[in-house]
Structure 1
Amino acid sequence: MSQYQRIGLGFVFLWFMGGGIGHFVMTDFFVNIMPPQLPLHYEAVYISGVFEILGALGLLIPATRRWAGYGLIALTICVTPANVHMWMNPELYPEFPEWALTARLVIQALLLACIAWSTRPVESTTDSQPAVA
């Protein structure tokens, strides 16, 4: 794993560990950004918070890192409706400038790329060298 991948992995860990804890500390914020048509707001916030923390912890163990990455990618996609809802309804979130709501969607796409890149399996240099007879 390159130094840059380690930095990316550290960023992803901090993002999801912090976000997961945030789901329990700032629950009402996360409930308020959910689209109203989705059910079980509080339950969904708590469940996603648990999975963010579990995913972050899974990143720390090389044997589970790839699967944790897959899970965090899926989770990030699942929370997309909340980000889209905020972007489409900026009047409901006057504390955020509209450019920040747009930036959230861009950051989410970059986050997905960072998760995929930093959790990919490390290729062994001996596997890529041709066999000598």
Structure 2
Amino acid sequence: MDTHSTVGTKILAGSFVVSGIIHLIKPSVFEPLLPKALPAHREINYASGVAEIACGVGLLTRARWAPVASATLLVGVWAGNWQYAITVQNSSRTSTPHKIAAWARVPMQLPLIHIALKARYSAQPLLPSD
């Protein structure tokens, strides 16, 4: 794995951990991203927060499951970003800058998915043990 990939993986892992913690301590931040048709928004938020923390730690320790699990999680996040962008676009109460920001999040998931999948080619942990 090259240095660029290692840095990308560390950034992704750190982002997962931070986002996961926010899911747990302030779930209301992410609830608008969930489709209204889904039940139990708070519980889904908590579960996704735990999953993000697990994926972040898994990427840092090079767990075999972590790259695919991280990419899968990001695909779910991508769906949420699409849902949110469509919802705010159709809202007359949402400002134009907010609508632009919502749509800007949509393509950002693709490089993150790529980084997650590329992490599977490395055998050594990103964090030293002991």
Instruction: Using structure 1 for the length normalisation, give the TM-score.
Output: 0.80
Over the aligned positions, Cα root-mean-square deviation in angstroms equals 2.0
Identity %: 28
Corresponding residue of 1:71: 69
Per the TM alignment, residue 48 of structure 1 is displaced from its structure 2 partner at its CA by 0.6
| Aligned residues of 1:24 and 1:46 also touching (Cα < 8 A) | yes
Q: CA deviation at 1:111?
A: 1.1
Give the letter aligned to residue 86 of structure 2: M
Contact (CA 8 Å) 1:35, 1:81: kept in 2 or not? no
> Are residues 1:16 and 2:40 paired?
no
TM-score by length of 2: 0.82
- Write the deviation string for residues 29-67 of structure 1: whole angstroms up to 9, x where unpaired: 2122211101111111000100100111111223x1x41
The question of whether the paired residues in 1 share the 8 Å contact of 2:10 and 2:60 is answered with no
Q: Say whether the 8 Å CA contact 1:87–1:98 is kept in structure 2.
A: yes
1:83 is displaced (CA, Å) by: 0.9
Amino acid at match of 1:80: W
Letter in 1 for 2:100: W
- How many residues end up aligned between the 2 structures? 120
In structure 2, the residue matched to 1:122 is: 122
In 2, Cα distance between equivalents of 1:115 and 1:8: 9
The residue type paired with residue 84 of structure 2 is: M
Describe the SS at the equivalent of 2:19: helix
What does residue range 82-121 of structure 1 map to in structure 2 within 5 Å?
Answer: 82-90=80-88, 91=91, 94=94, 97-117=98-118, 119-121=119-121
Give the Cα–Cα distance (whole angstroms) in 2 for the partners of residues 107 and 116 of structure 1.
15
Q: Is there any run of 5+ residues in structure 1 with no aligned partner, and where?
A: 124-133
> Structure 2 regions of 5+ residues with no counterpart?
124-130
Structure with the bigger RCO (C-alpha within 8 Å, sep 6+) is 2
Q: CA deviation at 1:79?
A: 2.5
- SS of the aligned residue for 2:12 comes to helix
- Residue 128 of structure 2 corresponds to none
Is the counterpart of residue 44 in structure 1 residue 53 in structure 2? no
Which residue number in structure 1 is paired with residue 127 of structure 2? none
Among candidates 73, 78, 81, match of residue 80 of structure 1: 78
